[in-house]
Structure 1
Amino acid sequence: MIKQGSQKAELLAPSLYQHELRVEPLALGLRGLLKRKRLAGPGAGMRMGTGAGAGAGSGSAASAPEPEDDSARAPRHRSCNNKVYAVWNYFWLFMEISSIHGFNHLTTRHRSLWEYIFWIVIMVLCFAGCVAIAKSTWTRYSENPTVLSMDRDRYSFKIQGPSITLCAFKAYNEKLFNATLQKQGNTPMFNTFLRTIFNATYKNFANLNDISESFGDFIKPVNYQDIIYQYRVINKLKFVSSYDDVIKKEGLPKPAQTQVLTEMGFCDTYNNEIAFYLDPAVWAGNSTPPTQNTLIYAFESSGMLLSKVMNIKQFSKGYIHSAEEMPDAGSRYSVMMETEKYLEYNVEALAITTSKEARSLSVKQRRCRFLHESHLEISPIYSYTFCRMQCRMRLALSICHCVPHFYRNNGRYKVCSVRGMKCLAKHSEELIKLRDMHNHRIECDCLPLCDRTNFKIWLAGSMRWHLGMQVQYDMKQFPTMKISRDVLFGFTDVLVNIGGTAGLFLGFSILSLVETVYFVTLRLFWHIVKLRRQSKLM
């Protein structure tokens, strides 16, 4: 019985010895490898035999080996109670059975130090390449996933008609103005002061250069806006369009004529969707934007779109623009109304639309905004020119420590007095062009509208007209093309690209991800529980 037990122990001892050394921590480094080589010298077999004999000597008391588990697979170390070695051993276990390529080369026995270094370098390079390509893919998705393409299905187009804005050179009531001069004393200095306040623009502020900075202190700057609103001229312009028959047939209200306060003073706007938000009455809460605002549209089947403005009484600058925009100080006027003139302009439209898929992207990805995506202080809705107006207001505040009175302020910022308006006149070029003294562009973070219509305007003809000033602007040729913004590189493409890259460099897959999560959650929990039980038994 003793002989049979010793033979069984001799057979069992080598396997136990190999099982104990099957995983050797990489942290031993070169000293551990050199020590193994010394142990593997000519006497290694004798030492192995001695170990077997020792096992045989106690074979009668030995029992069958326990089933293999995490603690058996992990390398055993003299300082296994140390937390650092416990963590390292668990990580070694993960590398040994992980499906991620490369880890198996680091846990294989009987390799030289240079082989370990070689595979570590290869894995680091593969990981770096995977991260670099994945980062490039994500950058493309987060910054430029859209594409602009041409759409030539002209029979399905619905093109928004142009809006027109007329800004009179004298936007105040001359009779009330003269009466005020007589009451306060008709002096040249007071005359210049009032006219500058009523026709306030960045360029007109230069008229105050010869006036004392303390002049006009009897009028508080915060009241300038209320005064010019009371003295404004209410123009009775007449707008007609070939689209009026469609509006009448469908029982819709006619497009509204709105008087607005802009960086060019008071202006009258027709066929516009956002003009109400530049109305001082709306700012003061005395009026609300209409719930239904009719706009003019053009279709392929409707033929030419003809529009005309009549009964113009004053010299004016005119702007023909998109119905979702308003002119600002940097806009170029397209119409100059003169005495007894009939002007005719041709208009060519180019519409830009955004698909439903692109609408779900973020503003940064689209590089454009919709009307409801406003981040502005001066308006609850967004437009490119509104954003530029706010940028000018902030620039004026930073340079002159005040803002002009023609902005929607609501008491947030100091309104410029004569001293402040002189400062604005000094920096008018910077404010209008939004460029600093070195001609560097000032960053305003103003994005275009996602859905908009751009217009190209040119003068078709002019003639003498004894029935007052009139302007006609016609869209005689319906657009044959529009620009569509769509998603070129979506989130599905991101998953495919990053997944393919991870699989190519590391052999990483969804199963590898699940395996990793499993190792750092459920299996780690039970591993810790088992270690604590073992420590209590010891």
Structure 2
Amino acid sequence: MLKFYRGRKEVANIPSIFSVEVDNDADVHISMPSTMKHENKLVKVARGVFEEYCSCSTIHGTKYLGESQRHWFEKAWWILAYVFSLIGCGMLIRQIYNKWDQSPVIVTFAGKTTPVFEIPFPAVTICPETKAIKTVVDFTKTYHKFLVQHEPPYNVSSQELRLKYMGALSQICEPHLTDTFTMADNVSEESIIDIIKQIAPTFNDTMHLCKFRNSMKYCSDYFKEIMTDEGLCFSFNMLNARELYREGISKDFLENDCNVPSNWDLQSGYKEFIEPRTYPYRVLAAGARSGLFVLLRSYERNLDYICKGPVQGFKILLHHPAEIPQLSKEYFRVPLLQEVLVSVRPNMITTSVGLLDYTPNRRQCFFASERYLRFFKVYTQRNCELECLANYTLKACGCVRFSMPRVDETAICGHRQMTCYNKAEHDLLHEQYLNGITKNISSTHECECLPACTSIKYDAEISQASFDWSLLLNAFKSSTEYPGMCPARLAIFFKENQFITTERSELYGPTDFLANCGGLLGLFMGVSLLSFVEILYHITLRLCCNLRKNASSKDTS
């Protein structure tokens, strides 16, 4: 700070950034630096541009801020109005964004019905509740023997074989029955799968008569053996094993390949211009004459009421042809000496092409090419869950259950590992539950088994009545005897010729989001897209042009 005097009097305290000329007989001359002159010009031009913008802006109330004659209280009023409008508009836009981000999909009914011949007839898996032929191994007798002795007699070779059978059979029967017993767990000579097949009732002992689309054939023409978590079962209308499983899977899953090429896939359906008689099988109309009839049988001498409980008969599962049956999750029963009629209603969900650009977590489903499975070529939620459980069990126990997908080198769990793989399944479900309710928890194994974007389920309406086999034979005056046979009859057919599909589609797309945001901005502030362009124009192009114009006018003067 500099002090200057004129005569004996102090004139002023002047900052040193100014240039000063002092004359003893004249006034003090103070000149501003060039940088400050430029700043004053910028502020002056910016103020002019601001006042010009306020006078011509399309945003409501802006003109009052640029009028110099307005009282400061009026300007403060409009500033507060702007602040509250922006806050309210921002909160509503945030709600719309959260809805667009978290729930962009809506499930609605399709505009037209779908005929039943556009989808395959349901795959049918039948599992007998009789798990062993008593002449091979009597589960009830051996069970009571264990209760008395507690320790198996290993010194008898025939007993060793029977204990080996019991070790395999215990994985199919109720698990709590044998968890306290000590059994032989040496299955090095024969796999558990081979033992289960050896002791189980044969195909001909179970499947007596089959008719499909009013055409009667040998059941072996329709049904194939399949190993499930319920042991040896028989499946109808499933895909060719080599079209269902990837290369490298254990040969146990390829032994009963039907060797029939498929003309259908889950996402695109049947190929165009193919014959009605294709595979997987389909029917051209609803009704019992177009459905599947199966006469099942079991023998009284093989019934075991301890292994699977007091309800004897068969477990049935309806699923689509590309899905691996898991009867521990869902099934319905066909009791012995009963006829069960199953009226099927398809439940199909498709996904619009407009959702392809969304992430799977946002649309909550996977398209066929988005989720790779190690063992399965076809992605379904059930197949994914089964593979995830197999991987988790292998990691926890060092082996997998006999029915789980695996490679040949993977060990199969024996009786001693039953507690481990049952606990692994419980732990996996518990972990998924925690991940579902607590998003921040660190997961050691993430399955990510969302539903497939195209899925088919078969809802069943069931009715049943008594099936008196002996009276039927008497009515036919049949001389053929079936000693000890306990039959049951199953009929499956579509209820209606058409059904209504449901479709996932966009609820809030980018266009809807922008339209809602524009509506709110227009409601609260009278703002449009051109309003933002106008603001950008005044703070850039208009300001620069005015500065240049002001500078050129100074130069000419």
The normalised TM-score by structure 2 is 0.58
The verdict on how the C-alpha distance between 1:517 and 1:435 changes in structure 2, with shifts beyond 3 A counting, is same
Cross-structure match for 1:259: 225
The verdict on how the C-alpha distance between 1:134 and 1:107 changes in structure 2, with shifts beyond 3 A counting, is same
C-alpha RMSD of the superposition: 5.7
5 Å-filtered alignment, 1:116-515, equals 117-142=76-101, 143-149=103-109, 153=113, 158=118, 160-169=120-129, 186=157, 191-197=162-168, 200-201=171-172, 203-204=174-175, 207-211=178-182, 216=185, 219=188, 235=203, 237=207, 239-242=210-213, 257-273=223-239, 283-284=249-250, 287=254, 291-292=261-262, 294-300=279-285, 304-310=289-295, 317-324=314-321, 325-336=323-334, 338=336, 341=337, 343-354=339-350, 356=352, 360=356, 362=358, 363-364=360-361, 366-369=363-366, 373-390=370-387, 392-393=389-390, 396=393, 403-410=400-407, 416=413, 418-425=415-422, 430=426, 434=429, 446-449=449-452, 450-465=454-469, 469=487, 471-475=489-493, 477-478=495-496, 481-485=499-503, 487=505, 489-491=507-509, 492-512=511-531
What is the CA-CA distance between 1:270 and the residue it aligns to?
0.5
5 Å-filtered alignment, 1:41-190, equals 77=39, 109=68, 117-142=76-101, 143-149=103-109, 153=113, 158=118, 160-169=120-129, 186=157
What is the CA-CA distance between 1:168 and the residue it aligns to?
3.9
2:424, 2:285 → 1: CA distance?
48
Please, which runs of 5 or more residues in structure 2 have no aligned partner? Answer: 1-36, 139-153, 264-278, 304-312, 439-446, 470-480
What is the CA-CA distance between 1:358 and the residue it aligns to?
6.5
The verdict on how the C-alpha distance between 1:431 and 1:199 changes in structure 2, with shifts beyond 3 A counting, is farther
2:449, 2:108 → 1: CA distance?
19
Q: Is the 8 A contact 1:260 1:267 kept in 2?
A: yes
Secondary structure at the counterpart of residue 283 of structure 1: coil
The verdict on how the C-alpha distance between 1:419 and 1:486 changes in structure 2, with shifts beyond 3 A counting, is closer
The verdict on how the C-alpha distance between 1:118 and 1:163 changes in structure 2, with shifts beyond 3 A counting, is same
The number of aligned residues is: 436
The verdict on how the C-alpha distance between 1:352 and 1:476 changes in structure 2, with shifts beyond 3 A counting, is closer
Cross-structure match for 1:48: none
Cross-structure match for 2:443: none
2:367, 2:286 → 1: CA distance?
28
What is the CA-CA distance between 1:141 and the residue it aligns to?
4.0
Cross-structure match for 1:27: none
Q: Is the 8 A contact 1:358 1:366 kept in 2?
A: no
Q: Percent identity?
A: 17
1:241, 1:280 → 2: CA distance?
30
What is the CA-CA distance between 1:109 and the residue it aligns to?
4.4
Q: Is the 8 A contact 2:222 2:236 kept in 1?
A: yes
The verdict on how the C-alpha distance between 1:488 and 1:78 changes in structure 2, with shifts beyond 3 A counting, is closer
2:401, 2:78 → 1: CA distance?
68
Q: Is the 8 A contact 1:258 1:270 kept in 2?
A: yes
Describe the superposition over 1:424-445 as per-residue Cα deviations: whole angstroms up to 9, x where unpaired. Answer: 45677x479x468999989976
Describe the superposition over 1:308-342 as per-residue Cα deviations: whole angstroms up to 9, x where unpaired. Answer: 2357568763323132544425434323464xx46
The verdict on how the C-alpha distance between 1:256 and 1:113 changes in structure 2, with shifts beyond 3 A counting, is farther
Specify which structure has the higher proportion of helix: 1
The verdict on how the C-alpha distance between 1:172 and 1:504 changes in structure 2, with shifts beyond 3 A counting, is same
Describe the superposition over 1:21-80 as per-residue Cα deviations: whole angstroms up to 9, x where unpaired. Answer: xxxxxxxxxxxxxxxxxxxxxxxxxxxxxxxxxxxxxxxxxxxxxxxxxxxxxx963697
Q: Is the 8 A contact 2:287 2:495 kept in 1?
A: no
What is the CA-CA distance between 1:307 and the residue it aligns to?
0.7
The verdict on how the C-alpha distance between 1:503 and 1:164 changes in structure 2, with shifts beyond 3 A counting, is same
Q: Is the 8 A contact 2:245 2:375 kept in 1?
A: no
Letter in 2 for 1:484: T
What is the CA-CA distance between 1:283 and the residue it aligns to?
1.9
Letter in 2 for 1:344: V
The verdict on how the C-alpha distance between 1:523 and 1:407 changes in structure 2, with shifts beyond 3 A counting, is farther
Cross-structure match for 1:57: none
Describe the superposition over 1:448-495 as per-residue Cα deviations: whole angstroms up to 9, x where unpaired. Answer: 454323322424324244666453313374266524325363524333
Q: Is the 8 A contact 1:400 1:420 kept in 2?
A: yes
1:514, 1:472 → 2: CA distance?
72
2:518, 2:261 → 1: CA distance?
49
What is the CA-CA distance between 1:176 and the residue it aligns to?
10
What is the CA-CA distance between 1:370 and the residue it aligns to?
5.3
The normalised TM-score by structure 1 is 0.59
2:413, 2:525 → 1: CA distance?
64
1:388, 1:425 → 2: CA distance?
15
Describe the superposition over 1:200-223 as per-residue Cα deviations: whole angstroms up to 9, x where unpaired. Answer: 3594376243227xx636849xx9
After TM superposition, the structure 1 stretch with the greater mean CA deviation from structure 2, 154-163 or 140-149, is: 154-163
Letter in 2 for 1:235: F
2:191, 2:75 → 1: CA distance?
80
Secondary structure at the counterpart of residue 456 of structure 1: strand
Letter in 1 for 2:383: F
Letter in 1 for 2:235: T
Secondary structure at the counterpart of residue 233 of structure 2: strand
